Amino acid sequence: MLRNADLESSVLSSPETLPLYSIERIAQSPVLVVAPHPDDECLGCGGAIALLQSLGCNVQILVVSDGAMSHPNSHKYPAAVLRSLRAAETQSAMQILGIEASHIQFLGLPDGAVPTPEDPGFDEAVLACWRYLEAIAPQVIFLPWRQDPHADHRATWQILQAALQQSHSGISTALRILEYPIWDWDLTQRGDGLNPEMVNAWRLDIQTVVELKQEAIAAYRSQTTELIDDDPQGFRLSADMLKHFSHPWEIYLENQP
């Protein structure tokens, strides 16, 4: 059960009090944005992606799961069709933000079952990410918040952390890792780990591209509209949830120095 103290201690309880910085604070290249599901990269980092791209940074997108379980009972969009649809939505959204399709990598892990260290398939996922990291040698990596309420988000963080521990050549010793919250915005799910004692939280000013970010999020019609109308239990981002990603800023979390 969520405790009042948890709500009060979360950096998301009063985000307007967090420091506000410009994109120059993180403008390095290459940049890797890691999304547990197709759309997380837009929700959490859409503004940063657009701004970094506008500065000429090499921005790469890694989508970890296939997104095929958002509407598991749909006959119009069975898993294979939904998988293709969500990949196409990612490409459309990224095109809006200035990212070419060749800069998007789909890992294709099962939606709802991204493996943890105890699961079969974890080592293979780590190996695939290690090879990818060695190839692009990012200077900045955006990851989902390590304690996000969604298990796929936490597993994604674990996979990338394990891959980074194996990486040596090409990976900068000054690598910067920025974590972004998604489901902690939901008060019914928010945990007690996102507090000022654990992380250094700050806001990125995305005012000049916030409308572009909203356009990119809207490209995920399967997640934001009634496009898939034959699965009453299917997932859809609520208006209340989406409003958290309409601010002229984004929140990022870093380890305390």
Q: pLDDT tens digits for 29-48?
A: 999 999 999 999 999 999 99
131-184 pLDDT, tens digit each: 999 999 999 999 999 999 999 999 999 999 999 988 665 565 679 999 999 999
Which has the minimum average pLDDT: 67-76, 89-98, 165-174, 178-187?
165-174
Q: Residue 8 pLDDT more than 70?
A: no
Distance CA 67, CA 94 (A): 16
**What's the pLDDT score for residue 51?**
98
Tell me the CATH number for domain 27-255. Answer: 3.40.50.10320
User: What percentage of the chain's residues is helix, strand, coil (to nearest 5)?
Assistant: 40, 15, 40
Each domain of the chain, given as residue ranges in start order, spans 27-255
Q: Residue 7 pLDDT more than 60?
A: no
**What's the pLDDT score for residue 5?**
43
Q: Nearest to residue 13, comparing CAs of 248, 204, 244?
A: 244
- Judge if the upstream peptide bond of residue 30 is cis by omega within 30 degrees of 0: yes
**What's the pLDDT score for residue 184?**
92
Mean pLDDT within 192-215: 88
Q: Nearest to residue 48, comparing CAs of 179, 225, 237?
A: 179
Sheet holding 31-35, edge to edge: 20-21, 199-205, 249-255, 176-180, 140-144, 31-35, 59-65, 104-109
How high is the mean pLDDT of the chain? 92
Output the pTM of the full model.
0.93
**What's the pLDDT score for residue 1?**
34
